[in-house]
Amino acid sequence: MLDAAFFHRWMTTVTALVDREAERLTELDSAIGDADHGSNLRRGFTAVSAALEKEPQQTPGAVLALAGRQLISTVGGASGPLYGTLLRRTGKALGDAPAVTADELAQALGTGVAAVAQLGGARAGDKTMLDALLPAVDALGTSFAAGREAALAGAEATVPLQARKGRASYLGERSIGHQDPGAASAALLMAALADTEDTAGGAA
Amino acid sequence: MSTDAQVGIVLVSHSGPVAEAVAELARGLAAGGATAPVAAAGGTRAGGLGTSAELIADAARSVDAGAGIAVLVDLGSAVLTVKAMLAEGDELPDGARLVDAPFVEGAVAALVTASAGGDLDAVAAAASEAYDYRKA
């Protein structure tokens, strides 16, 4: 079972990964976006980790709800409301259970991803974070490691796509040939989940 | 239109100067008496480009007279942040509504209508109708 401490570690691990990869994310974003994805997410997740340190939460749902709220209020770019909605809706779907199974998390993340799609009006193939999240959620039913691989493959598969959402869509065909920064950061979120399970010694 | 309270207007832009300037333009064109309350929420709290949920919440509270609030937005994260705040339910005052309208033209139409005592439906409709004015 995955308890609040596991979810807290997941968020801490994402924070470290985003911090380490912030420059790569911003580099991807400078090709087809406005060159702030890495610094925006770094600011957001740093706030998430600080908030969880200050106000430790007792349930998985509460950890994700607090994280989502922090992202919406601190990121400043579109990734704030999108990731904020993802985590908050996932947290809401988990309810107030003190611990959840891996299957329950996979299902709740599916609800969160659907909320992101609704908020942004995007679909698979639009060259957005959904191109990493949708295959990851499907693969999580198998294992967290499979989710990590699927998200990474999904992010890499955005390279040949033409962007149909956000600022990158204004570039038309010139958006082709660059990896979507949102899909790249979504792959980090899923990688952090698998890493957290690894360090927990297979707690799931 | 039966109460004295006027609909409040919140202008959310990626840029602080853009939000302030559009508010000033709308006030100037709506003049001819006291205008309805309008507040700008542009840029990040640190003054950079982007969207701040805290600035939006502050702006909404500052124009809330109980008659509803029309929120007009410009691009990307401004749209998504307001939508996410409305979905949360308790981050904006009751009666806050995201209005689908062009930012500059919609702001003028909304403020003129609100200043004339129009209710939230009338303000939202006037702002949205600004899309119908073709320029070429």
> DSSP string spanning A10-53?
HHHHHHHHHHHHHHHHHHHHHHHS-S-HHHHHHHHHHHHHHHHH
Give B53→chain A minimum CA distance, Å: 5
Query: Residue B8: what pLDDT?
Result: 98
Residue range A187-202: average pLDDT? 89
Tokens, residue A130: 């959904």
Give B88→chain A minimum CA distance, Å: 9
Beta bridge partners of B39: B10
- Residue B55 near chain A (CB below 8 Å): no
Considering chain B, what percentage of its residues have pLDDT values greater than 90? 88
Query: Residue B3: what pLDDT?
Result: 55
CATH number of A2-199: 1.25.40.340
- Residue B47 near chain A (CB below 8 Å): no
Confidence of residue B1 (pLDDT cuts 50, 70, 90): very low
Tokens, residue B29: 């064109």
Query: Residue B88: what pLDDT?
Result: 84
Tokens, residue B107: 């702001």
Provide CB contacts within 8 A for B127, sequence distance 6+: B70, B72, B99, B101, B106, B107, B109, B110, B113
Would you say A172 and A162 are in contact if contact means Cβ atoms under 8 Å apart? Answer: yes
Q: Are strands B38-42 and B8-13 parallel, antiparallel or unpaired?
A: parallel
Phi, psi of A154 (to 5 degrees): -65, -40
Minimal-distance CA residue of chain B relative to A86: B84
Q: Does the annotation count B14 as an active-site position?
A: yes
Minimal-distance CA residue of chain A relative to B90: A69
- Using an 8 Å CB-CB cutoff, list chain B residues near A92: none
Would you say A129 and A182 are in contact if contact means Cβ atoms under 8 Å apart? Answer: yes
Burial of A64 per CB tally in 10 Å (0-12, 13-18, 19+): buried
Q: Is B8-132 a domain of CATH 3.30.830.10?
A: no
Residue tagged active-site, from B9, B13, B14, B69:
B14
- Cα separation, B19 vs B36, in Å, equals 16
The answer to whether the complex's ipTM is over 0.85 is: yes
Provide CB contacts within 8 A for A53, sequence distance 6+: none
Q: For residue A124, count other CB atoms closer than 10 A to its CB.
A: 12
- pTM for this entry: 0.93
Would you say B57 and B76 are in contact if contact means Cβ atoms under 8 Å apart? Answer: no
Query: Residue A199: what pLDDT?
Result: 86
- Using an 8 Å CB-CB cutoff, list chain B residues near A88: 88
Burial of A96 per CB tally in 10 Å (0-12, 13-18, 19+): exposed
| Residue-range domain boundaries for chain A | 2-199
pLDDT per residue as tens digits for the range B81-130 = 999 999 988 899 999 999 999 999 999 999 999 999 999 999 999 999 99
- Using an 8 Å CB-CB cutoff, list chain A residues near B88: 69, 72, 88
| Binary contact (A81, B84; C-beta < 8 A) | yes
Beta bridge partners of B69: B8, B96
Look at residue B2 and tell me whether its pLDDT is greater than 90: no
Query: Residue A203: what pLDDT?
Result: 46
The DSSP secondary-structure symbol of B51 reads B
Minimal-distance CA residue of chain A relative to B87: A85
Tokens, residue A147: 């989710």
Residue range A115-138: average pLDDT? 97
